[in-house]
Amino acid sequence: MEKKSKSPRYFYGWNIVLAGFLSHLAYAEQYSSTLGLFMRPLQNEFGWSRSQIALVQTISRVLEALVAPFIGPILDRFGTRSIMPIGSIIAGIAVLATTQVNEIWQFYITRGVIAAIGFSMMGHLVTSIAINNWFIKKRGRALAIVNIGSTLSNVILMPTSVWVIAKWGWRSMFATFAVITWIVVLIPSLILMRRRPEDMGLYPDGENPAATSEENQSSFIKEAIWTRKEAFQTSAFWLISLSFAVASFAFQGINISMAPYMQDLNYSDGFVAGALFFRASIMTIGLPFMGLLAEKSQYAIVRIVPFVLQGTGSFLLILGENPYFLFLGLAIYGLGVTSIGVTQEVIWANYFGRYSLGRIRSAGFLATFGAGATGPVFMNLVYDFSNSYKPALTLFLLFFLAASILIVFATPPQAKNFTTVENI
């Protein structure tokens, strides 16, 4: 390991943030809300039901959840640079192959299975672990900047997708997604990504321990390290996993149905694109504030914010026939989505530390993404039987309430073992 130097004026960790930001620009294609824009075109061309189309998102989420526990230890040992470029190549090829599907099973394999494997190697799990290894005090704001990549992608790609699909068809938009993935992830991840600041003779947040108090210096020397077995024995692991799993089930279902829900309320495609653009804009503007707030997640009142916002937004969406309630619901719900994306990553890192974050976070990822996998199908099965999304939206209010109660009791666990970066 290189000899540690004084704190540089520019901290290399912000390069890691940039690479994560670019990855999220591409990963937005994998979101349920984006897939919602393809529902009517796919229905019109192939006659597939909404629940059949939504099933691809369930397959995708299940695959990401199952792959995550294997990726986590690799990230701890070798860092993100070892797998992100490979993931971008796989994801791009799979999305491009989706343009050639003619049967539902082909759609499931390309967009549901192969693309999911690629995106799992370059998506949220990978980027959040990278950021949390480079930042401690500034985790919330760094993660917020990375997540702006997702919301900015929605700001740009939502209206672009509506326009491209209308003018050239849904296949052209999938081809566009493939090209974007290769451009913004493959080369930047090779050039910029590094495992930990200590590998470059630096410290988290770009700080110099010599300039800090004796108490803070000790945190640079030894940090907690966990095995999965030890983490499983804590109530914190299960409460965090369960609370975000319950919420994930609900918001994944809502996200995929956002566009068709508004279309069913007889809003035009142009209105829907504008509404989604509005939601993404609010999310982009709100993310820096949510990032700063997430850095205070040791307080229970902060931990429940994502669920309260999403529950309130869902209630207003039920009243969506009124465009004022619809836009207010989209704004509040969108803020909840941004908050949950940052807050949960800060909580995992703060509770279980940097050195074993990959193996612990990926185990929790299995629960949250596994639950989220069933949300889209559930939402659209409700629609297929009732011809309305409102019964599911009403039920999801209770899910967000349950999640907010669970997270209150998730307090930091006490580690038994500590180590230094040299001994990892």
Mean pLDDT of 1-24: 78
pLDDT confidence bin for 6, thresholds 50/70/90 = low
Indicate whether 210 pLDDT > 70: no
* CB neighbourhood size of 74 (10 A): 17
Give the chain's domains with CATH numbers: 13-196+213-423 (1.20.1250.20)
The residues that bridge with 419 in the sheet, in sequence order, are: 223
- Confidence at residue 8, expressed as pLDDT on a 0 to 100 scale: 61
Q: Report d(CA 36, CA 282) in Å as an integer.
A: 19
Q: Report d(CA 378, CA 368) in Å as an integer.
A: 16
Element (H, E) at 323: helix 323-352
Mean pLDDT, the chain, as a whole number?
A: 87
Element (H, E) at 104: helix 104-107
Q: Report d(CA 269, CA 265) in Å as an integer.
A: 11
Which phi and psi angles does 62 have, rounded to 5°? Answer: -60, -45
Give residue-wise pLDDT tens across range 265-321. Answer: 989 888 888 898 898 889 889 999 999 999 999 999 999 999 999 999 999 999 999
- Confidence at residue 33, expressed as pLDDT on a 0 to 100 scale: 62
Give residue-wise pLDDT tens across range 348-357. Answer: 999 999 999 9
Q: Report d(CA 348, CA 325) in Å as an integer.
A: 34
Which phi and psi angles does 121 have, rounded to 5°? Answer: -95, 0
Q: Are residues 119 and 59 in contact, defined by beta-carbon separation less than 8 angstroms? A: no
Give residue-wise pLDDT tens across range 220-262. Answer: 567 889 999 999 999 999 999 999 999 988 888 888 788 888 9
The more confidently predicted of residues 206 and 331 is: 331
Indicate whether 219 pLDDT > 60: no
Q: Report d(CA 75, CA 110) in Å as an integer.
A: 25
Question: Got the DSSP string for 159-198?
Answer: HHHHHHHHHH-HHHHHHHHHHHHIIIIIHHHHHH--S-GG
Give the ranges where 233-322 is alpha helix by DSSP (H).
235-264, 269-294, 300-303, 305-318
Q: Are residues 356 and 223 in contact, defined by beta-carbon separation less than 8 angstroms? A: no
Mean pLDDT of 22-37: 74
Which phi and psi angles does 419 have, rounded to 5°? Answer: -150, 175
Q: Report d(CA 326, CA 191) in Å as an integer.
A: 43
Given 3-state DSSP classes, what are the helix, strand and coil percentages for the chain, each rounded to the nearest 5?
80, 0, 20
Q: Which residues contact 9 (CB under 8 A, 6 or more apart)?
A: none
- Confidence at residue 182, expressed as pLDDT on a 0 to 100 scale: 92
Helix, strand or coil, per DSSP, at residue 207? coil
Indicate whether 216 pLDDT > 60: no
Q: Are residues 46 and 108 in contact, defined by beta-carbon separation less than 8 angstroms? A: no
Structure tokens given for 76: 């701890």
Residue among 207, 190, 224, 217 nearest 349 (CA) = 224
- Terminal CA-CA length for the chain: 12
Indicate whether 369 pLDDT > 80: no
* CB neighbourhood size of 126 (10 A): 29
Give residue-wise pLDDT tens across range 81-100. Answer: 889 999 999 999 999 999 99
